[in-house]
């Protein structure tokens, strides 16, 4: 398995939408010596330009988002516990009893215990509005000395290896994409390429809009994760994609119809270079491609994704064999797309 020290560092970092400076700092320290230009724009995107051996026909932008789903503190109760709202798409069924970190402060998400619930309450998931975070304090005053309304919380989840090729971590969506971009930036490129580490993807793909406005790419390559439902009880196209099936290349998802020419070139490139790929089988989800496609005159877009189990939970699971295929395909596509007549 590849050296995962950087990926572990990125996944463990706190970066809820709108509060991802810790993630950007890690990336800056990793890539600053490999960029010909590196800056943070007015909305918080980290953008790097890597000069290639020549200027391409098409301005190419590779994109991955730095933010993760998480929680925002909305209130402090009399007993010292905290109310919160989800930031991004989190199923309330994965929240109860989970460990979180509010900055450096650990906490536990809790609710009314099951023996105190009515028969009807036991039948349904506990809604977010009925959950609180317990940080071990005993009064509102004590909590106010540690936590403020507006603070963000991330899942506390250990980065571990599962078996020979898989990993479990929070925020693989989309620190895996950021990790691959860092790796590609360290290589010699054929063509000038822009790398945009975007923010606020989880709350409407907002950062990618301003990145596209300033870069004005002809072609956008989005590195992402996508749901792998290749688990017990799911079959057919509902599995979406399979782990160890290779990089996932999309034709359509819940917010984007991808460029057919770019898709065809990606398939041919994979075949030519012995890169393992698969096509996303189910129309669902969305990513920054929608923003690139619709902004500043538009761009042709393609998405290359990691099949990821248990997305938007503390326990995302990915297979690094698929990640390696993603990196190989993206690196090769810079050359293929750079000289493409579009």
Residues 6+ apart with CB under 8 A from 167: 4, 7, 159, 160, 161, 317, 318, 320
Q: Which of 244, 240, 271 is nearest to 253 (CA)?
A: 240
The two three-digit tokens of residue 128, written as one number: 């977010």
- Crossing angle for the helix pair 5-12 and 21-31, nearest 10 degrees? 160
Q: Which CA distances in Å does 309 have to 159, 160, 231, 239, 316?
A: 15, 15, 8, 10, 6
The SS3 assignment for 177 reads helix
Q: Which of 284, 249, 224, 192 is nearest to 66 (CA)?
A: 224
Is the separation of the CB atoms in 68 and 171 below 8 Å?
Answer: yes
Burial class of residue 22 in the structure, from the number of CB atoms within 10 Å of its CB (0-12 exposed, 13-18 middle, 19+ buried) = middle
Catalytic residue among 201, 224, 327, 336: 201
The H-assigned helical ranges of the chain are 5-12, 21-31, 140-144, 172-185, 207-215, 260-272, 289-294, 320-338
30 is annotated as an active-site residue? no
The SS3 assignment for 148 reads coil
The SS3 assignment for 10 reads helix
User: Which residue numbers are catalytic?
Assistant: 201
């Amino acid at each position: 398995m590849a050296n995962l020290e950087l990926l572990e560092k990125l996944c463990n970092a706190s970066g809820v939408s709108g509060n991802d400076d810790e993630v950007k700092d890690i990336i800056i320290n990793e890539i600053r010596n490999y960029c010909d230009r590196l800056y943070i724009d007015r909305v918080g995107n980290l953008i790097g330009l890597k000069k290639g051996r020549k200027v391409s026909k098409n301005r190419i932008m590779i994109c991955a988002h730095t933010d993760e789903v998480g929680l925002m503190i909305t209130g402090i109760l009399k007993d010292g516990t905290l109310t919160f709202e989800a930031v991004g798409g989190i199923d309330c069924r994965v929240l109860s009893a989970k460990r979180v970190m509010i900055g450096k402060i650990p906490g536990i998400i809790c609710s009314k215990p099951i023996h105190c619930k009515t028969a009807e309450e036991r039948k349904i998931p506990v809604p977010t509005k009925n959950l609180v975070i317990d940080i071990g304090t005993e009064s509102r005053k004590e909590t106010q000395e540690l936590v403020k309304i507006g603070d963000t919380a991330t899942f506390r989840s250990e980065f571990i290896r599962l078996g020979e090729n898989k990993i479990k971590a929070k925020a693989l969506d989309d620190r895996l994409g950021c990790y691959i971009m860092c790796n590609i930036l360290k290589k010699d490129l054929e063509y000038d390429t822009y790398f945009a580490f975007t923010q606020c993807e989880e709350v409407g793909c907002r950062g990618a809009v301003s990145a596209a406005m300033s870069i004005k790419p002809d072609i956008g390559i989005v590195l992402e994760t996508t749901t792998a439902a290749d688990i017990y009880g799911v079959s057919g196209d509902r599995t979406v994609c399979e782990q160890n099936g290779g990089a996932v290349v999309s034709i359509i998802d819940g917010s984007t119809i991808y460029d057919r020419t770019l898709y065809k070139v990606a398939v041919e490139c994979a075949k030519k270079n012995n890169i393992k790929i698969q096509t996303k089988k189910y129309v669902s989800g969305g990513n920054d491609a929608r923003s690139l496609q619709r902004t500043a005159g538009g761009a042709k877009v393609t998405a290359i994704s990691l099949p990821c189990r248990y997305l938007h939970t503390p326990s995302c699971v990915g297979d690094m064999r698929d990640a390696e295929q993603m990196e190989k395909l993206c690196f090769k596509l810079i050359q293929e797309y750079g000289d493409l007549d579009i």
